[in-house]
Each structure stands twice: as structure tokens, then as C-alpha cells.
Amino acid sequence: MKINVLGIEFDALTAQQALEHGAMLLDSEGFHYVVTPNPEFILAAEQDADFRRVLNGADLVLPDGIGVIYSAKLLGTPLKGRVPGIEFAEGMLAQLDRRGGRLFLLGAKPGVAEQAGANICAKYPNLVLCGTHDGYFKEDEPVVEQIKAARPDLLFVCLGAPRQEKWMAQFGPETGARLAAGLGGSLDVFAGTVQRAPEAWQKLNMEWAYRLVKEPKRIGRMAKLPLVLVKAAKARLSGGTREDA
């Protein structure tokens, strides 16, 4: 079931259901892509129709961030819970490992994808890391060609939003991958260059606050979180759930 949160059509799935769906996509013919919008995405998509189209055109739209969950609740159409991109990524790696499948990592600063790949291979020895590329390239086609030649099943695209989502929608089918996921800063986490919040913070739904303490320069971006809640409350009060309500 889809739940509209300020113009973005989220899938109402538990984390486990999202993984089952992801595994099904991995086993299906053709190209599929997954997006993990947070409140920043929702606000950006209000101003960018192409971004909104690309998000709503994804095969899986997972709520990454407590702000999305609260907004859906305020709108009177609750989702089933947060599905953090990094957790979806871990689950998909386990699925790929079970299948002995092929993984390509695209994004982050030079060297990060390689380090992330080495850590992933140590944890999931049955999957094949078929290639990596950093996220600071100017020409798309050579990167697409490299990915295609590597024949991945699963492709992580970590270029930051909205570039990663637009990139997947435009070039994904050419890569030959079965499933691509746009995962923001996840390669930095897999590489160990950025730490995820400790579990206690995650359980309190305070992961965003931990990130803010670690990276105070994110304050401007994070100020958008309450704005989304205000918009959701306004939309509810005026009886609509659309972004223009």
C-alpha cells in the first residue's frame, strides 16, 4: 500500500517486508530501483518536479528518517515504521551473499568505495564485489560502461540526493543491474569513515541528533525536519494530504 506524505508516495512496509520485496526485485528480470527519502527529500521534491517524478517512479520508496514517520502520523495515514537506508542495504547484502551475487559500489570520495567493499567482503564472503567507482565523476557514460562490464546484480548508488535518484532513473537500466539503491552516505558508514549512532540513540529515534552532534554543519539541513512536520499538520488541518494543501 502507498501512503502519500506531502507529495511522495511511500510504501507502507515494515523493515522485514521491505527486505522481502527487495529480494523479490533482485530475483526479477529487468532493472528496479529503491529510494529512501527523508524530510529533506520531501522539501526538495516540492521545488523539483523531476525529483518528485523519479522518487515516485521507484519500485520501493522507503521512509528513512523519523520525520517522515511523524509526518505520516500527523496526516492521519501512518506508515509501518522507519526503514533506514543503511539497514535495508545490510539486509540486501545478506540476501546477495546467500545467492553468491555480484555487487557494484558507486559513490563517495576516492578510496571510500574500495574500503567499504573490503569490509563488506569480509562480512559477506559469498558475494562477489565486481567493481567500485568514486562519486566525483563528470562524465556519466564511462561510468555506466564500467558498471555494465562488471555485470552486477546489485548496485549501490551513493552520490547524495537528488543526484543519486536521478542518476539511477536515467542510467540504471543501461547498467544491466537488477536492483539499484540510492543510499546517501552509506558507503562512508560501511568504510568506517563515518559512524552510525549507537543503538540506544537509534532506539530513541534520535539518530538525527547524534549526527548533528558529530557534524554540526548539518544544522541548516536539519532545520528542515520541523518544517516538514508543520506542513503535514497544516495539510491535515486543511483536510488534504497533498504538498499543495
Our CB check for ligand UDP shows the closer of 48 and 99 to be 48
Is 136 among the residues that bind ligand UDP (CB under 6 A)? yes
Q: Which residues contact 32 (CB under 8 A, 6 or more apart)?
A: 25, 59, 60, 178, 179, 180
CA dihedral 144, 36, 55, 225 (to 10 degrees): -130
For ligand UDP, the closer CB: 1 or 217: 217
Q: Does 111 bind ligand UDP (CB under 6 A)?
A: no
Of 147-176, binders to ligand UDP (CB under 6 A) are 158-161
Residues 109, 110, 112, 113: is their CA dihedral positive or negative? positive
CB of 87 vs ligand UDP, minimal distance in Å:
13
Handedness of CA 164, 180, 131, 126 (dihedral sign): positive
Query: How many helices (H) and strands (E) in the chain?
Result: 13, 8
Nearer to ligand UDP, 15 or 194 (CB): 194
Cα 120 from Cα 97, distance rounded (Å)? 10
228 binds ligand UDP (CB under 6 A): no
Rounded distance between C-alpha atoms, residue 208 and residue 215, angstroms: 10
Cβ nearer to ligand UDP, comparing 26 with 187: 187
Binding ligand UDP by CB under 6 A: which of 39, 117, 135, 152?
Answer: 135
Shortest CB 17 distance to ligand UDP, Å: 22
Q: Does 108 bind ligand UDP (CB under 6 A)?
A: yes
Q: How far is the CB of 170 from ligand UDP (least distance, A)?
A: 15
Min dist. Cβ of residue 238 to ligand UDP (A): 30
Q: How many CB atoms lie within 10 A of CB 6?
A: 23
Residues forming contacts to ligand UDP in the complex (CB under 6 A) are 107-109, 135-136, 158-161, 184-185, 187-188
